[in-house]
Structure 1
Amino acid sequence: MAIAISQEAFDAMVRENMEDLDMDPDEALADAVDALTLQGADLSGIIKRVPGEAAAAEVSPVMRVLDELKASASGRSEDDLDKLASLLDELRELCAGEGLENAAVAVRNGAVEALIGLCASAGIKQERLLASGLKALSSLLRDVGSTEKFRHGEGPQVVMGILKGGSESSDILEGGFRVVAAASAGNEVVKECFMDLKVDELILQIMVEKSNSNVQSLYDAIRVLLTPDDNRVVASQVYGYSRRFAEIGIAEVLVSALREKVAPSSLPSACAALKAIAVNDEICRSISENGGIDVLLHCIDEASEQKNKVIARSCCSLLSKLAGSDANKATIIQRGGFDKLLKLTSRFSEDPPVIQEVMSMVTILTLRSPENAARAIGAGYGTLAIQAMQKFVSSAQTQKQACLMIRNLVVRNPENRYVAQSPSTVVS
């Protein structure tokens, strides 16, 4: 484990380099960083500064924002609330995306605890303040250290209370479920906390009763809660969580949302959420029985017409998961799946990732099925494999997926090994 070091200890080492070893400030700072790194010290969140330098805020703008937040947190007038919300928005911008170092500095200096307290004390009617606070908090939760601070600060309980009380506000829901997703990523214990607080039942209630079905972070939260991504855990509980989500009806509600409510921008996230729930044959068949395959094939048709490769890939990926059920394979083929998928490859003939998803889908549909392999060859998938390999020589994943598909096309159909390449061009 990395050696913990405080900001005070770091500053003292830099000062010692200057005073005892007569180094200039820049040299003293660089030497301290190098020496501590070699010793295995954890320097995340440490402000790399020369002690006593003026304009410390310029060195770490996140500290300036944090200081102003703490100074303004006691105010509750309208002007104070607007100022707080603006500061929270600024903190989020500093820490989101590539702002990993800023987030580490903020976490080390108590930002997680401060934002949990701020959100806990704010009223539900203070919608802008709460939404800004939640989104800022989600930008800080970037590793196990920050998510553990969130857990120990009773963050799951606070966020669940806000989501229950603010379910009429799409902004609060967006911010709240961003926190659920960020806090649960890579932390099995936080996932368990949210499940113990019945986050699955809350998600179902919001999706069924409210008109906020296009909150993308809600779908992201489902996906993260059901992803076994904590390397510290030998056996994750998420498989059981997926079954819980399915048992209370969230899979059916997601299918309904895909059919009627989900905005195009949120559709890939909704597909990923449903894919995370589809963990066994029973659930996959249930999704199909509720119209899931028909919905996905329709979405693939629309993605093909609109040339939306993000939606095309996400729908194909989910359809591949559902095809793990032998009963669903027959349904997909009966609904014209082979033709729809081949049409998709012609629309995205210059996009290897989409072609890879289609070939993966066909690989699953033809697994241990000579009849389906014969249909696939007749539809033109032998030609697709050959031409994709010729066209995308440098794409290792395309080459691999084409080989896997070819294997399933010929392993139980010796006659397919000698089928001449079709003169028709699938991938131009």
Structure 2
Amino acid sequence: MAIAISQDAFDAMVRENMEDLGMDPDEALADAVDALTLQGADLSGIIKRVPGEAAEAEVSPVMRVLDELKASAAANDSASGRSEEGIDMLASLLDELRELCSGEGLENAAVAVRNGAVEALVALCASAGVKQERLLASGFKALSSLLRDVGSTEKFRQSEGPQVVMDILKGGSRSSDILESGFRVVAAASAGNEVVKECFMDLNVDELILQAMREESNSNVQSLYDAIRVLLTPDDNRVVASQVYGYSRRFAETGIAVVLVNALREKVAPSSLPSACAALKAIAVNDEICRSISENGGIDVLLQCIDEASEQKNKVIARSCCSLLSKLAGSDANKTTIIERGGFDRFLKLTSRFSEDPPVIQEVMSMVTILALRSPENAARAMGAGYGTLAIRAMQKFPSSAQTQKQACLMIRNLVVRNPENRTILLNNGVEKLIRKAKVMHASCKDAATSALRDLGVDNYNS
């Protein structure tokens, strides 16, 4: 674990370098940073400055805004006592803080977190009251810009952030801005933190999300979908066994999967559709859930979305829908449905539309790999439709794309492992040379290439 160090200790070290060791200011600052970094100190949020110098004496922008925000909040320390002018001032400062800490403002966010911004913003939101919508929305947006790592999300949890956010979201506000920004906080706070996920689940966030999604006006609140995806993603490397699999089943039991399918069918705007697909993919963790999504029309909806993405040449939607369909194809019953609906022809048409886009081709090959798994009949259909040719052309056209080469090898393996007739076709078209070349060029392809060569029946497949 990184060694904790305070701003005062850092400043003292810089000062000591100048006064005791005779270093010039720039050298003293650089030496302090280098020495502490080598010692394993956590310098995130430390302002790298030379104490006492006029040029460095200026307060950093984020500290200036944070100090003004704390002072203003203290002067208007209750919801009932806040004037419109006071609310406007607080909201403006919150918006400025968000601007400073968003996007590339990683260091600004770290400085703010180290100096109590998370705790201050949680307290401010708690005192705002549901009626102060502008203030709450600005507070939530600023808060989500600060929640970037486990340190910041732990501060959020320890200051009772999950309870505060859930109380506000349950408070009956009809503001889409509060809903959007509030669930943005849920997603940001839950990312990479298993304990925060558990806090939100204990507070029945799944029921709240379902309630919000049933309102047609909320179908394009993207943060709702992002919150589902993050809550159901096992992304905390401190945890050996994540609970998110159980959370996914719990989400499915509430009926959210069906609501998501209906949203994809009727309501979701193109800009929110990839997030909705990712949310549904996170819920589809077992055969029963995958089949229920299909039974409620999920596969038909996705195939239609793929057709539309093909016509509109929207590669983001195409990839999202293919990725979700691949997950649903893990159910053998769904494989049959996809193929009966003309899936092979539709996917091949998609690759022709995106012939210059390796990520789309990779998603299609991944889907065909799954459809052909343990199914000689499907493998034969795929070869007849032209997927052997697709694999060869993709390998020829994108030799430097390791992921394309690997996915082609995986698909080839499933096309031939139970279909000896397919081996002859592919070998006669020069596939062995392409696979061996991919194996040499890309270390990440080694295992997939070896398996493909073995199941093609060639000699020295492991060399």
TM-score by length of 2: 0.88
Q: Aligned pair in 2 of structure 1 residues 210, 354: CA closer, same or farther (>3 Å)?
A: closer
Q: 1:224 aligns with which of 222, 226, 230?
A: 230
Instruction: Give the superposition deviation at 1:55.
Output: 6.0
Instruction: Give the superposition deviation at 1:209.
Output: 3.6
Q: Aligned pair in 2 of structure 1 residues 127, 149: CA closer, same or farther (>3 Å)?
A: same
CA RMSD of aligned residues (A): 2.1
User: Which stretch shows the higher mean deviation, 234-243 or 30-39?
Assistant: 30-39
Instruction: Give the superposition deviation at 1:406.
Output: 1.0
Instruction: Give the superposition deviation at 1:161.
Output: 0.8
User: Which stretch shows the higher mean deviation, 46-55 or 178-187?
Assistant: 46-55
User: Which stretch shows the higher mean deviation, 272-281 or 76-85?
Assistant: 76-85
Instruction: Give the superposition deviation at 1:74.
Output: 11
Instruction: Give the superposition deviation at 1:138.
Output: 0.5
Q: Write out the 4+ residue segments of structure 1 that deviate beyond 4 Å after TM superposition.
A: 55-59
Instruction: Give the superposition deviation at 1:267.
Output: 0.4
Q: Distance in 1 between matches of 2:172 and 2:384?
A: 55
User: Which deviations, in whole Å up to 9, do the C-alpha atoms of 1:154-197 show, x marking residues without a partner?
Assistant: 00000001111254111001111111011101110000000000
Q: Distance in 1 between matches of 2:58 and 2:313?
A: 46
Q: Aligned pair in 2 of structure 1 residues 380, 59: CA closer, same or farther (>3 Å)?
A: farther
Q: Aligned pair in 2 of structure 1 residues 167, 301: CA closer, same or farther (>3 Å)?
A: farther
The answer as to whether partners of 1:259 and 1:295 remain within 8 angstroms in 2 is yes
Instruction: Give the superposition deviation at 1:69.
Output: 0.7
The answer as to whether partners of 2:4 and 2:42 remain within 8 angstroms in 1 is yes
Instruction: Give the superposition deviation at 1:80.
Output: 2.0
Q: Distance in 1 between matches of 2:57 and 2:308?
A: 51
Query: Corresponding residue for 1:211?
Result: 217
User: Which stretch shows the higher mean deviation, 97-106 or 273-282?
Assistant: 97-106
Paired residues, number: 418
Identity of aligned residues (%): 92
User: Which stretch shows the higher mean deviation, 159-168 or 137-146?
Assistant: 159-168
User: Which deviations, in whole Å up to 9, do the C-alpha atoms of 1:237-259 show, x marking residues without a partner?
Assistant: 00000000001100000000111
Query: Corresponding residue for 1:96?
Result: 102
The answer as to whether partners of 1:62 and 1:94 remain within 8 angstroms in 2 is yes
User: Which stretch shows the higher mean deviation, 317-326 or 12-21?
Assistant: 12-21
User: Which stretch shows the higher mean deviation, 58-67 or 382-391?
Assistant: 58-67
Instruction: Give the superposition deviation at 1:2.
Output: 1.1
User: Which stretch shows the higher mean deviation, 204-213 or 231-240?
Assistant: 204-213
Match runs of 1:272-421 below 5 Å: 272-417=278-423
User: Which stretch shows the higher mean deviation, 80-89 or 171-180?
Assistant: 80-89
Instruction: Give the superposition deviation at 1:75.
Output: 7.3
User: Which stretch shows the higher mean deviation, 393-402 or 123-132?
Assistant: 123-132
Instruction: Give the superposition deviation at 1:25.
Output: 1.2
Q: Aligned pair in 2 of structure 1 residues 157, 80: CA closer, same or farther (>3 Å)?
A: same
Q: Distance in 2 between matches of 1:305 and 1:83?
A: 48
Q: Distance in 2 between matches of 1:334 and 1:53?
A: 74
Instruction: Give the superposition deviation at 1:76.
Output: 2.1
Instruction: Give the superposition deviation at 1:409.
Output: 1.1
User: Which stretch shows the higher mean deviation, 402-411 or 276-285?
Assistant: 402-411
Q: Distance in 2 between matches of 1:167 and 1:398?
A: 47
Instruction: Give the superposition deviation at 1:129.
Output: 1.1
Q: Distance in 1 between matches of 2:49 and 2:56?
A: 8
User: Which deviations, in whole Å up to 9, do the C-alpha atoms of 1:361-412 show, x marking residues without a partner?
Assistant: 0000011111111111111111111111100011111111111111111111
The answer as to whether partners of 1:313 and 1:354 remain within 8 angstroms in 2 is yes
The answer as to whether partners of 2:18 and 2:28 remain within 8 angstroms in 1 is yes
The answer as to whether partners of 1:2 and 1:40 remain within 8 angstroms in 2 is yes
User: Which deviations, in whole Å up to 9, do the C-alpha atoms of 1:26-80 show, x marking residues without a partner?
Assistant: 1111111111111111111111011123365856211011011112199722222
Q: Aligned pair in 2 of structure 1 residues 301, 57: CA closer, same or farther (>3 Å)?
A: farther
The answer as to whether partners of 1:166 and 1:173 remain within 8 angstroms in 2 is no
Confirm whether residue 165 of structure 1 aligns to residue 171 of structure 2: yes
The answer as to whether partners of 1:49 and 1:59 remain within 8 angstroms in 2 is no
Instruction: Give the superposition deviation at 1:19.
Output: 1.3
Q: Distance in 2 between matches of 1:15 and 1:121?
A: 41
Q: Aligned pair in 2 of structure 1 residues 414, 59: CA closer, same or farther (>3 Å)?
A: farther
The answer as to whether partners of 2:130 and 2:173 remain within 8 angstroms in 1 is no
Q: Distance in 2 between matches of 1:242 and 1:146?
A: 25
The answer as to whether partners of 2:216 and 2:267 remain within 8 angstroms in 1 is no
Q: Distance in 2 between matches of 1:52 and 1:181?
A: 41
SS in 2 for 1:56: coil
Q: Aligned pair in 2 of structure 1 residues 57, 28: CA closer, same or farther (>3 Å)?
A: closer
Unaligned runs of 5+ in 2: 73-78, 424-462
Q: Distance in 2 between matches of 1:268 and 1:53?
A: 51
User: Which stretch shows the higher mean deviation, 172-181 or 319-328?
Assistant: 172-181
The answer as to whether partners of 2:50 and 2:56 remain within 8 angstroms in 1 is no
Q: Aligned pair in 2 of structure 1 residues 56, 64: CA closer, same or farther (>3 Å)?
A: farther
Instruction: Give the superposition deviation at 1:126.
Output: 1.4
SS in 2 for 1:58: coil
Q: Distance in 2 between matches of 1:75 and 1:99?
A: 33
TM-score by length of 1: 0.95
